[in-house]
Structure 1
């Protein structure tokens, strides 16, 4: 995985444990060589840990838009992340 292709997409997925075994191994290899991405992972891990303690239901109720829109946004976000992961895998296979 080259630095220009990993970016925050992979770092975020790595921190959240959302990568499959092969992608996680590739991310770890990249992280072992890339101080920029290691710093990104450290920063995202701090944010992730902080967010874990927040009361999600109360936050959603306080948002200025309907919770059903949040559900749709979450679904679309997951679908997009999965599509990007598939595309990333295809690019890695060609590299």
Structure 2
């Protein structure tokens, strides 16, 4: 079997590697001969902005005066948990 990466509908079967490569080249040429390249203009201002889940929370503790204390407590809990596991 041979296929073209990125073009899932171009796949062939053959008895040998050389034959498969030859067939897949022919299949790709046929696909490209019947296809058409077009340019599509996209107005990025009309596309709604979607935040990734992680970025939604970026910086939410920037002005929280208790954040450093929280992180120290979390580190202590993790250290104690790791010590318990190791024993």
**TM-score normalised according to structure 1 size:** 0.27
Greater Cα radius of gyration, structure 1 or 2: 2
Give the number of the structure with larger relative contact order, counting CA–CA contacts within 8 Å between residues 6 or more apart.
Answer: 1
Q: Which has the higher strand share?
A: 2
TM-score (normalizing by structure 2): 0.29
